Structure 1
């Protein structure tokens, strides 16, 4: 069994949100929100809807693939719901960025997320999600999140035994929040606290670490059964750590591998409040205070950023200018870049009067 491997710095390239107003924006802005075919019927009833960005276009993501995300792609995820006895529809709107997604793709995903919010009469709370650092709200939509290598075109629905490239999947989490991600194809990726699946195409082997929990085992078993059902002639088996299972271990090379950093950041308790205003003719961002931030610190005339160490909230006042209202994600991006914050920080854009996690952050 491999020991600890040296972590490397998270190498995800943060999106260039200067794309707003650039050639990319002009390219994806050829049609208004009301004429975007993908938005027809969006948010009309409670449930989940997902789209993938393909060459500046918004394309439907198959429902049978909900929960699967390829690291070479960017996605838009809309969750529509009702509260209590109210018939009013509410929305949480996310764009998800794969670590190998191109700037064009995640720039388009960010822009189209704002466009979909416009289509929904500005009723959505908007979120930016980065692969491997998804918010608890985002994770709650799925029984398990599968983080896979490549783009959707490299999917594994059809198997050619001679040409199939094996992969190793890790199941990690608690309760309903189980994450499934493809890890480097080597024995050194294994650890005793999780469950792993060796997918060899027509042979699927589940390996249970000695410290793995019950839900990790169940989710892995369900995953294996799904693959078996999709692939005619495929078989699956389960092995326990410590048992003699040459079919599993012989299928994994023993080589050095660097594992990705899992640092999620730390909430210090101290908040930073920034004010965004274009009153002087150009966008300016100034620090208002640090420490405790209350609802009384926020006004209706401007946009504010609240940084609690784990995520950045963009609060959009009801009387903010159109430009201030439109550019919540670029403001957050600018702040994250210029203040040496973690590039994968979760970003939420919330308008005055909307309920969100920001209510729990403000004193």
Structure 2
């Protein structure tokens, strides 16, 4: 049986019969190692979230709407419901859970709202879907004006 193959379209089964078969641009082993002196250096800049509000330039760069003094409400997703989180535990998020955060603020005399959705890396698909659905529902309850993040 004869099989016709286009040039450079040879299959591995065909190539196995030729000891010195080389493809164009084929590398041997892992290729050439890069010396650390030739790799771009990345400057590590320390980041302190507490300084965002004290530096107007930094706050603008990171999209901060105000000084963080607005009202926060946080809910954890349990089943198909959002359950209020105890304010004493605000800021503690668990990887197996999903959360919805509503932030109310005043900026230049105008009221603004942001809805954040936090989906833990180990959240179930149901929790992730529910958090997305409940975020949209909360946005609609608030007249569609909040920004969703």
In the other structure, the counterpart of 2:122 is 100
Q: What pairs up with 1:53-132 in 2 under 5 angstroms?
A: 53-84=77-108, 86=109, 88-127=110-149
Question: What is the Cα deviation at residue 118 of structure 1?
Answer: 0.5
Residue 70 of structure 1: SS of its match in structure 2? Answer: coil
Across the aligned residues of Structure 1 and Structure 2, the Cα RMSD in angstroms comes to 0.9
Alignment length (residue pairs): 80
1:236-291 Cα distance to aligned partner (Å, 9 max, x none): xxxxxxxxxxxxxxxxxxxxxxxxxxxxxxxxxxxxxxxxxxxxxxxxxxxxxxxx
CA distance in 2, matches of 1:101, 1:77: 16
Helix, strand or coil at the partner of 2:137: helix
Following TM superposition, where does structure 1 have runs of at least 4 consecutive aligned residues deviating by more than 3 angstroms? none
| Equivalent residue, structure 2, for 1:266 | none
CA shift at 1:89, angstroms? 2.0
> Structure 1: which 5+ runs fail to align?
1-45, 128-363
SS in 1 for 2:143: coil
Q: Name the SS for the 1:68 alignment partner.
A: coil
Which runs of 5 or more residues in structure 2 are unaligned?
1-69
Aligned equivalents of 1:77 and 1:57: distance in 2? Answer: 14
Give me the whole-angstrom Cα distance separating, in 2, the residues matched to 1:111 and 1:55.
Answer: 12
Matching of residues 110-259 of structure 1 within 5 Å:
110-127=132-149
The TM-score with structure 1 as length reference comes to 0.22
| Structure index of larger Rg | 2
CA apart distance, 1:123: 0.6
Quote the Cα distance in structure 1 between the aligned partners of 2:96 and 2:140.
27
How far, CA to CA, are the matches of 2:107 and 2:121 in structure 1?
A: 34
How far apart in 1 are the matches of 2:76 and 2:98? 6
Q: Deviations over 1:170-229 (max 9, x none)?
A: xxxxxxxxxxxxxxxxxxxxxxxxxxxxxxxxxxxxxxxxxxxxxxxxxxxxxxxxxxxx
Secondary structure of 1:122's counterpart equals coil
SS at 1:72's partner residue? Answer: coil
- Provide the TM-score with structure 2 as the length reference: 0.52
Tell me the CA shift for residue 60 of structure 1: 0.3
